[in-house]
């Protein structure tokens, strides 16, 4: 085996340009696989972090009649949190309403939140310090669509517990900047007490955000969604995106493996006399097959070394400066920032290295099996078709 | 021990499939070669010289008959056993040298010893000695492409001889050499034959080679026509 490596090494070094062309393409595929997956992993990590910080907390306790995907369930989906656990949750009340920026009607969700909370990153101190009658926080996306800015007033209409319409002017107390679109688009954040009194839903909440990690199995009238469950949806979405983004580098990998396969077929054809000589010198056919296989898989070792040489500084730089994400892709449905920072985990790198080596070895082994059936006399004459 | 038969061929016949039928390249060959012989197969093109050398070298096997090399019937050997037989006991020299192009002269010669798993110091000693035999110690680090034809064939001799095989098979070793180089190469081989008692078996049409041989086996159409022992008047050989 050591001998095979020595021979293979010499052959590759001797083969010159063709070797380096194969190695370069393969190394590019190697670096791209790590980069794209690192980007997705970085996104996933950041999205998870942001979603926990802005939306999920340590899990959510939903009223059993509330379905986050059905706005009509808001009407019935609220209740009083059981007192035994009430202080373990941050209360959120959600109601429907509409605002009229520039005279256009826009449906919104009114979200009441405690002003002293520090479970979510929603900057509630701004609400607390506001003198306005109905102070409201909105996110940057909402500010953009409504063209509202801090200090603006706008007409709000909502229905109270009896179904009667009410209207009043609200004041934008502040605009926050969050990567999590779902707490931003179409959302108005306001003091919980205010919303409860406006709607006549005193003490009523739609959901609670867990302050600490714990397992709330069965609480009458409420259903608990753990942080992991909530994050799973997010990971699933990112996993789907991972697959679609893999097309690019898988094609790159396929091209480089095809080039390697081609090189192997050609080199076995061109080097028949050499193969015959190896056998005449006392190598078994299996040893020669091993030799050519090692030679092919050695391309992958070179590619990994080369890829590491230029990939490490390149990927490190990209991880440090981040990748700017065009505004158009901000509607990804998953928390996404203006700049993504790839994260290259040890597992990702190890698996990619393994993948490249195994793929290169298989692609080199297949043509080499031809040698096992070779007649050395014909090989020495260079007569194999 | 000088009478030990290293090669014993009994009724060796080789047929090749050709189209629908068969072509008989060797027909009932019975020959024996003793340790230390310096012999040659001579005959016109197509008479079966290379075919016979390939069988003796266990690169091919007879269709009928028995080829006993170093006491082993080569038809009964596994791939691994015949590889081992070649590695330890048989050296090949080809018409077109067949040196490994990416290797230096030194590494080409060393190769068989690597297969034998000799230690680095054993290898170094043997390789340098073999290069001395052929007068190429100064070329040790050159690549084959940089060598002249005569030098290339001498490297091939060193490579075949470095493991001190019992049998050395040389298929038209001088065909690509000019007269001066041919004589130098043949002289080297004759000296090695005397010194190491290696059995040399050539295939050739070359008069220059025949002048060196102690025994000439004439082949024609795959049969032995004459088996001639030469007694040299000329003692310089
Ligand atoms: N694989 C094969 N298939 C069919 N015929 C073959 C094969 N190998 C050799 N022959 C035939 O067997 C005969 C002997 O061939 P061989 O190569 O042994 O001759 P040779 O004496 O070495 O000739 P030369 O002096 O030209 O090298 C030739 O007629 C050749 O065409
Ligand atoms: Mg021949």
Long-range own/partner contacts, residues A5-10 (CB < 8 A, 24 or more apart): A5/A294, A5/A298, A6/B114, A7/A291, A7/A295, A8/A291, A8/A294, A8/A295, A8/A298, A9/A298, A10/B102, A10/B103, A10/B107
Residue A11, phi then psi, degrees to nearest 5: -60, -45
Ranges of H-type helices in chain B: 49-56, 79-89, 105-115, 120-133, 149-161, 179-196, 207-212
Overall average pLDDT of the A176-196 stretch: 93
Question: Looking at residue B125, what is its pLDDT?
Answer: 96
Quote ipTM for the complex. 0.92
Q: Which residues, numbered 176 to 235 in chain B, qualify as contacts with chain A under a Cβ-Cβ cut-off of 8 Å?
A: none
The number of residues in chain B equals 237
Distance A176 CA to ligand 1 centre (A): 89
Q: Which residues contact B63 (CB under 8 A, 6 or more apart)?
A: B13, B14, B15
Looking at the complex, report in whole angstroms how far the Cα of residue A242 sits from the nearest Cα belonging to chain B. 44
Across-strand partners of A187?
A: A109
Q: Which residues, numbered 159 to 178 in chain B, qualify as contacts with chain A under a Cβ-Cβ cut-off of 8 Å?
A: 159
Token digits of residue A153: 């007033």
Overall average pLDDT of the B49-63 stretch: 95
Token digits of residue A300: 């992958």
| Spans of all domains in chain A | 2-52+233-381, 60-225
A228-273 residue pLDDT tens: 889 988 888 888 888 888 888 889 899 999 999 998 898 888 889 8
Residue B60 has pLDDT above 90, yes or no: yes
Overall average pLDDT of the B171-194 stretch: 89
Say if residues A189 and A113 touch (Cβ distance below 8 Å): yes
- Tell me which chain B residues have a C-beta less than 8 angstroms from the C-beta of A375: 60
Name which of A3, A283, A377 is nearest B83 (Cβ-Cβ): A283
| Residue given tokens 């038209």 in the structure block | B172
Token digits of residue A20: 């380096």
For chain B, say whether A16 makes contact (Cβ under 8 Å): no
Among residues B42, B60, B64, which one has the least CA distance to residue B51?
B60
* Binding-site residues, ligand 1, Cβ < 6 A: B 16, 18, 23, 25, 43, 45-51, 203
Say if residues A93 and A188 touch (Cβ distance below 8 Å): no
To test the ligand 1 pocket, which listed residue (B15, B27, B47) has its Cβ within 8 A of the most ligand atoms? B47
Say if residues A29 and A256 touch (Cβ distance below 8 Å): yes
Ranges of H-type helices in B197-223: 207-212
Distance B49 CA to ligand 2 centre (A): 6
Residue A211 has pLDDT above 80, yes or no: yes
Looking at the complex, report in whole angstroms how far the Cα of residue B213 sits from the nearest Cα belonging to chain A. 24
Q: Over A143-183, what HEC string results?
A: HHHHCCCCCCEEEEEEECCCCCEEEEEEEEEEEECCCCHHH
Q: Which residues contact B197 (CB under 8 A, 6 or more apart)?
A: B2, B35, B36
Contact B83 A287 (CB under 8 A): yes
Looking at the complex, report in whole angstroms how far the Cα of residue B102 sits from the nearest Cα belonging to chain A. 5
| Residue given tokens 């041989």 in the structure block | B213
For chain B, say whether A276 makes contact (Cβ under 8 Å): yes
- Tell me which chain A residues have a C-beta less than 8 angstroms from the C-beta of B112: 281-282
What sign does the dihedral B109-B111-B115-B118 (CA atoms) show? positive
B131-155 residue pLDDT tens: 998 889 999 999 999 999 889 999 9
pTM of the model: 0.78
Mean pLDDT, chain B, whole residue set: 91
Q: Which helix (H) or strand (E) holds A349?
A: helix A346-372
Max CA separation in chain B (angstroms): 55
- Tell me which chain B residues have a C-beta less than 8 angstroms from the C-beta of A15: 102
- Tell me which chain B residues have a C-beta less than 8 angstroms from the C-beta of A10: 102-103, 107
Overall average pLDDT of the A282-311 stretch: 92
Distance A373 CA to ligand 2 centre (A): 23
Distance A147 CA to ligand 1 centre (A): 92
Question: Looking at residue A11, what is its pLDDT?
Answer: 81
Residue B43 has pLDDT above 60, yes or no: yes
Q: Angle at Cα A245 formed by Cα A241 and Cα A249, nearest 5°?
A: 155
- Tell me which chain A residues have a C-beta less than 8 angstroms from the C-beta of B92: 280-281
């Amino acid at each position: 085996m050591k001998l095979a490596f020595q021979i293979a090494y010499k052959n590759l070094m001797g083969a010159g340009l063709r070797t380096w062309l194969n190695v370069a393409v393969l190394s590019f595929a190697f670096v791209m696989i790590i980069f794209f997956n690192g980007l997705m992993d970085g996104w996933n990590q950041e999205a998870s972090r942001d979603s926990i910080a802005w939306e999920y907390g340590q899990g959510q306790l939903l009223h059993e009649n509330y379905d986050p995907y059905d706005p009509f369930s808001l009407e019935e989906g609220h209740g009083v949190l059981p007192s035994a656990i009430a202080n373990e949750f941050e209360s959120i009340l959600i109601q429907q309403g509409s605002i009229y920026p520039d005279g256009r009607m826009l449906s919104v969700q009114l979200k009441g939140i405690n002003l002293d909370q520090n479970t979510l990153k929603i900057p509630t101190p701004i609400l607390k310090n506001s003198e306005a009658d109905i102070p409201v926080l909105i996110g940057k996306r909402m500010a953009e669509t409504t063209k509202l800015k801090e200090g603006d007033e706008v007409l709000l209409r909502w229905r109270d517990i009896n179904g009667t319409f009410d209207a009043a002017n609200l004041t934008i107390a502040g605009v926050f900047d969050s990567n999590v679109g779902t707490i931003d688009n179409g959302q108005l954040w306001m003091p919980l007490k205010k919303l409860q009194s406006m709607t006549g839903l005193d003490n009523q909440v739609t959901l609670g955000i867990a302050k600490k990690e714990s397992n709330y199995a069965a609480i009458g009238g409420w259903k608990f969604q753990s942080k992991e469950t909530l994050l799973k949806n997010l990971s699933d979405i990112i996993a789907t995106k991972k697959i679609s983004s893999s097309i690019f580098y898988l094609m790159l990998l396929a091209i480089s493996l095809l080039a390697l396969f081609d090189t192997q077929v050609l080199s076995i054809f061109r080097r028949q006399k050499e193969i015959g000589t190896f056998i005449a010198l006392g190598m078994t056919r299996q040893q020669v097959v091993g030799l050519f296989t090692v030679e092919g898989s050695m391309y992958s070792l070179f590619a990994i070394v080369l890829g590491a040489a230029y990939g490490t500084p390149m990927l490190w730089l990209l991880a440090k400066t981040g990748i700017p994400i065009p505004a158009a892709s901000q509607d990804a449905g998953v928390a996404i920032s203006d700049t993504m920072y790839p994260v290259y985990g040890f597992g990702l790198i190890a698996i990619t290295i393994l993948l490249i080596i195994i793929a290169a070895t298989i692609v080199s082994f297949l043509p080499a099996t031809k040698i096992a059936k070779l007649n050395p006399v014909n090989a020495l004459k260079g007569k194999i078709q | 021990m000088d009478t030990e038969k290293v090669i014993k061929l009994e009724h060796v016949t080789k047929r090749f499939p050709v189209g629908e039928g068969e072509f008989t390249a060797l027909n009932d060959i019975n020959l024996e070669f003793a340790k230390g012989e310096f012999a040659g197969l001579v005959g016109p093109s197509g008479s079966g010289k290379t075919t016979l050398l390939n069988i003796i070298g266990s690169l091919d096997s007879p269709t009928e008959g028995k080829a006993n090399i170093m006491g082993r019937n080569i038809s009964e050997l596994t791939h691994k056993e015949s590889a081992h037989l070649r590695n330890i006991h048989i050296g090949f020299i080809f018409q077109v040298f067949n040196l490994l192009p990416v290797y230096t002269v030194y590494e080409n010669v060393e190769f068989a010893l690597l297969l034998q798993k000799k230690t680095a110091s054993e290898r170094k000693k043997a390789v340098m000695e073999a290069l001395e035999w052929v007068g190429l110690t100064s070329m040790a680090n050159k690549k084959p492409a940089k060598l002249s034809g005569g030098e290339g064939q001498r490297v091939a001799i060193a490579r075949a001889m470095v493991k001190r095989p019992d049998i050395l098979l040389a298929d038209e070793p001088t065909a690509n050499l000019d007269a001066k180089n041919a004589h130098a190469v043949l002289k080297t081989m004759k000296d090695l034959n005397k010194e190491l008692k290696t059995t040399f078996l050539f295939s050739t049409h070359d008069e220059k080679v025949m002048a060196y041989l102690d025994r000439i086996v004439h082949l024609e159409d795959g049969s032995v026509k004459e088996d001639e022992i030469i007694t040299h008047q000329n003692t310089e050989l």
